[in-house]
Amino acid sequence: MSLLDDDSKVPDFVLRKHTKPITALEFVRVPIAMQRRAITNDKETHDHSLTLKPFLLSGDQEGNVKLWDMATRRPAIERQCHQSHILTILQLGARDGIIDHRYFGLIITHGRDNCVKFWRLFDQQGKFTFTQVYDLPENALNFSNVDVMENELIAPNTMNSNAFDVYDIEFITDDVVNDHRLVRDMEAVDVFEAASASGKFTFEEFTLKRDSDESVNRVDKFGIIMKLLWVSDDTVYIGYESGHVASIRINPKSKKYEVLSVTKHHYPQPVLSLSYDPVQNIVISASIASQIVIYDVSTQAATAIKLDNIGKISSISTIKDKLVLSSWSGLIMFYTFDKSTYTLEYHHSFKKPKGMIAGDLNIMGNLQDTTGPKKNTVTKPNCMTMVERSTVPLSLKSKLSRRDVTVIESSFLSVGYDDGTISIYTDL
């Protein structure tokens, strides 16, 4: 039965090994041939996307990272990767179902200890190693993530949190990583200055007289970068402290860029989430208010959509035609987005009360329950991620364990909570 056909919304299972709040999640695809020696090791089999098995990487507030096997539901590897809050976990060389063998096997972790670290998750012989390859100093004062497209990494500028840098990380693929090959293709790019200088944008909101209440959260200019998102090899979306979202056409090698659009739908609240839906070619943003903004990447048009009974939105994730939102109130809500009418169709919602364990059928989420959660009864979701199902060819099924086949042919929603637990829902 599909999760969306079942009103109970009880997790299929809960992962419990972290002792601090979960702050980052990433499903990584690992060739199943690397786990089962019964499968041939020739290149054709390794390249076959249907032989990739999802594992979950989770990071917490103290810098711990765990690699979870979805079949055994236990950590396969545990590492202290950083000395502070994990901000970003990314798999390299596997984006939108396309494998780039130059980077495949590498992951990035990024922490508030001002480091971006590159790790070899599995080696060429097919074994998990989780060994550090390189450590790149990085500005993490503003809780912004970093993002990668092919061999370009975008990150907040090392000195100015309002601007960004772009690094060429191709040197990471060398047998021996050489510091001298690290290239910063672009440095200290300030989008507000570029947009203002272009003459195409005006920002009257920054010329308005300040309210007498100085406690109101308000910034001049865009403020610090909150979120970074590559959507293609030449387009980046950036969310700012001021609530503005900018899209940029960028060519790191020529060091040229153009500001395509700037919107202020979230102003003056900071942008807390940016997500890309490659199926519909849209970007979705959210701040601490109860609205989302949909951006058409092709036309740069932006539309704000107000949501009811959700509260402050904390994160966004997409899979196929589904949009999933989480809120500070503990709600996880499922929608489908109709691009032709720019409307959301609500499906289901649920929440995880404190102390709930897998199989506790007494607690259910309901959108019509407008009374809201009772004080101290709901655990706040901090982050979430999803992975789509694949199909295992019949010729391979006999060579795999039933549990591995089930994992590969399942879709998963992973939600990380403030209490250190990770709820897993299947069959989305």
Residue at 369 is within a domain: no
Specify the CATH number for the domain of residue 261: 2.130.10.10
Residue at 180 is within a domain: yes
The pLDDT tens digits of the residues spanning 103-154 come to: 999 999 999 999 999 999 987 666 899 999 999 988 777 789 999 999 999 9
pLDDT band for 205, please (50, 70, 90 cuts). Answer: confident
Residue at 364 is within a domain: no
Instruction: Identify which has the larger pLDDT, 358 or 117.
Output: 117
Tokens of 278: 């490659």
> What is the model's pLDDT at position 359?
37
Domain span including residue 282: 13-37+48-358+374-426
The closest of 342, 332, 336 to 320, measured between CA atoms, is 336
What 3-state DSSP class applies to 97? coil
Q: Give the range with max mean pLDDT: 156-170, 301-315, 337-351.
A: 156-170
Residue at 101 is within a domain: yes
Whole-Å CA distances, 138 to 134, 174, 366:
13, 21, 42
> What is the model's pLDDT at position 42?
42
Residue at 363 is within a domain: no
Asked if residue 394 has pLDDT above 60, the reply is yes
Report how far residue 374's alpha carbon sits from residue 339's, in angstroms, rounded to the nearest whole number: 36
Percent with pLDDT over 90 in the chain? 58
The pLDDT tens digits of the residues spanning 279-311 come to: 899 999 999 888 999 999 999 999 999 988 788
Min mean pLDDT across 18-22, 297-301, 331-335 is at: 331-335
What total number of domains does the chain contain?
A: 1
Residue at 294 is within a domain: yes
Residue at 42 is within a domain: no
Please report, in angstroms and rounded to a whole number, the separation of the first and last CA atoms in the chain: 9
Q: Specify the DSSP class assigned to residue 182.
A: -
Neighbours of 49 (CB within 10 A): 13
Residue at 365 is within a domain: no
Instruction: Identify which has the larger pLDDT, 312 or 244.
Output: 244
> What is the model's pLDDT at position 211?
54
Residues with Cβ within 8 Å of residue 6, at least 6 apart in sequence: none
> What is the model's pLDDT at position 175?
81
Tokens of 111: 């922490």
> What is the model's pLDDT at position 209?
54
**Rounded mean pLDDT, 85-110:** 91
Report how far residue 92's alpha carbon sits from residue 112's, in angstroms, rounded to the nearest whole number: 20
